[in-house]
Structure 1
Amino acid sequence: MWFRNLRFYRFSDEFTLPEDFEAKLNEHLFRACGRQEQSTFGWYSPFGADSEVLSHRLNECYLICARREEKVLPAAVINAELDEKVRQIQDAEGRPVNRKEKQTLKEDLVHQLLPQAFSRFRLSWGYLDLKRQLIVVNESASNKAEDFLGLLRSTLGSLPVQPVGTAEAAEVFMTDWLIGNSLPGAFELGDEAELRSPQQDGGILRCKNEDLTRDDIQAHVDGGKQVTRLGLIWQEQIEFVLETDLALKRVKATDMLMEQQDDLVDPTPDQKLDADFMLISAQVGELYDDLIRAFSSDSSN
């Protein structure tokens, strides 16, 4: 287990978990789709299907996992069936089929085909860091992270969180960092960036596997483009791409970090998960602290 994407949400009020947290999770346990359900979403054990434990605590951090089932009905299949239904009606009754009737026919087809549809499953991971009053969600898309938070909100009854943000636009900071490679001390440049012109019809420059200090890339910044995505390396431990909403994409542990992790001899799945979570919660927590300091108004001092 490793968090490949990081979205940070901060509690707006002092938050503690209820003593019956595990029981509350169990009330919203994942279940398979019924014959006419297109999707279901519920809590799932971090330790897998054979475990009934729905959370894993390490110090003041609580790891939780949700599972989603979605019935897959390819649009091409539905549209082909719909076209055939429309053709049959037109041939039999000699009249055109209007839009409203087509929509009704389509809904009926979905209802008929759902029991035969294949299922797609995916896991969504996150953890609560009560020391930092933070929730970290492993999702690249904000709507998927909001689904995770929505399930947690339904489970707990309320969830006073908001996305972590900055007082000044993040692209202002990242553009300043790229100019002259003047980053806060905990970070160094990676090899990826996206630069956008502030004009609505302006150009976009995307760089991968490049030396971002090159004169031609710096010239685009001098010409007015702003950095909207920036590859960074934190403490030689974690590589990631930072976006303007402070989401971290394509998060990867460096070889240096993995070499520092204690090697377990033939670890059980439970031991492996515990070791991974210990590494993630400790490193991501410190990374978050440095990231917030970097975006403070005096970060360059």
Structure 2
Amino acid sequence: MWFKNLRFYHFSENFSLPENFEEQLAEHSFHPCSRTEQSSFGWFSPFGPDNETLTHSVGNCWLLCAKREEKVLPSTVVNAQLDEKVRQISEAEGRSVPRKEKQNLKEDLIHQLLPQAFSRFRLSWGYIDLDRQFIAVDESAANKAEDFLGLLRGSVGSLPVRPFSPSEAVEVYLTDWLQKQDIPAPFELGDEAELRSPQADGGIIRCKQEDLTRDDIQAHLTAGKQVTRLGLVWQENLEFILEADMALKRVKPTDVLLDAKDDLVDPTPEEKVDADFALISGEAGQLFDDLKKAFE
């Protein structure tokens, strides 16, 4: 288990877990889709399907996992059957089928096909840091992270969180750092960036595995382009891409961190999750502290 993305959400008021936290989560635990459901989303044990425990803590950090099932109905299949149904009605009744009736027919077809559909499953991870008063969610898309927060909000009744963001636009900071080649410690410049023109019809420059201090990149910045994505290395331990909405994507440990990690011999699933979460929460917590300082 490793968080490949980090979206930080800061509590707007002091938050503590309710005494019956596990029971509240259990009321919203994952259940497989019924024959008529197109999707299902609920809490799932971090230790896998053979465990009923829905939380795991290391210190004052609490790990959560949610599971989603979605029935896969290819649009080509639905539309093909819909076209055939519309053709039959037109020939039998000698009339065209209006749009609203087509929509009702489509909904009926989906309802009929759902029991035959394949299921797609995915896990969504996040954790609560009560000491630092934030939630970190491992989702690349903001709407998926909001789904996770929505499930948690529905479970505990109230969740006063807001996305972590600086007072100025993130692009202003990233552009200034790259233009001055002055990255706040303990961050270092990576080898990937995206530069965009502020004009709607302006150009986009994407650089991967490049020396970002090159003169031609500096020329684009001088011409007015802004940095909207920037590769960074933190404390020689983590590499990631920082996005304009403060999402950290493609987070991965460096060899320095992996070499320092204690490898367990034949760990149980519980021991593996505990060791991974201890590492993740420890590193991400310190990273959050340094991000706050860098964007003051």
TM class by shorter-chain length?
A: over 0.9
Read off the aligned partner of 1:272 and give its amino acid letter: K
Matched pairs, number: 296
State the distance in 2 between where 1:49 and 1:200 align: 48
- Alpha-carbon separation, structure 1, partners of 2:11 and 2:64: 17
| Alpha-carbon contact 1:35-1:114 (below 8 Å) kept | yes
CA displacement at 1:90 relative to structure 2: 1.5
Unaligned runs of 5+ in 2: none
Q: Look up the match of 1:299.
A: none
Structure 2 match to 1:211: 211
Q: Which amino acid aligns with 1:279?
A: L
Match of 2:255 in 1: 255
Does residue 232 in structure 1 map to residue 232 in structure 2? yes
The alignment status of 1:198 with 2:161, answered yes or no, reads: no
Other-structure match for 2:56: 56
Does structure 2 retain, via aligned residues, the 8 Å contact 1:3–1:138? yes
Q: Distance in 2 between matches of 1:43 and 1:63?
A: 11
Give the residue type in structure 1 aligned to 2:258. Answer: M
Q: Which residue of 1 aligns with 2:36?
A: 36
Write the letter of the residue equivalent to 2:179.
I
Flag as ranges the 4+ runs of structure 1 deviating above 3 A.
none
> C-alpha deviations, 1:111-165, integer Å up to 9, x for none?
1101111111110000000000000000000000000000000100100000011
TM-score (norm 1): 0.97
Partner-residue secondary structure (3-state), 2:84: helix
User: What percentage of aligned pairs have identical amino acids?
Assistant: 69
1:45·1:54 contact (CA, 8 Å) conserved in 2? yes
Q: In structure 1, what is the Cα distance between the partners aligned to 2:222 and 2:229?
A: 17
Q: Cα distance, 1:180 vs. partner?
A: 3.4
* Structure 1 residue 101, shift from structure 2 partner: 1.3
- Partner in structure 1 of residue 266 of structure 2: 266
Query: Could you say what secondary structure the match of 1:158 adopts?
Result: coil
Contact 1:180 1:213 in 2 (8 A): no
> Structure 1: which amino acid aligns with 2:135?
I
Superposition deviation, residue 87 in structure 1: 1.1
CA distance in 1 between partners of 2:222 and 2:67 (Å)? 47
What RMSD, in angstroms, separates the aligned Cα atoms of the two structures? 0.7
Q: Distance in 1 between matches of 2:39 and 2:195?
A: 38
What SS class does the counterpart of residue 85 from structure 1 fall into? helix
5+ residue gaps, structure 1, are: 297-301
**Matched residues in 2 for 1:105 and 1:18: separation?**
46
Q: Distance in 2 between matches of 1:105 and 1:26?
A: 37
- Which piece of structure 1 moves more, 147-156 or 86-95? 86-95
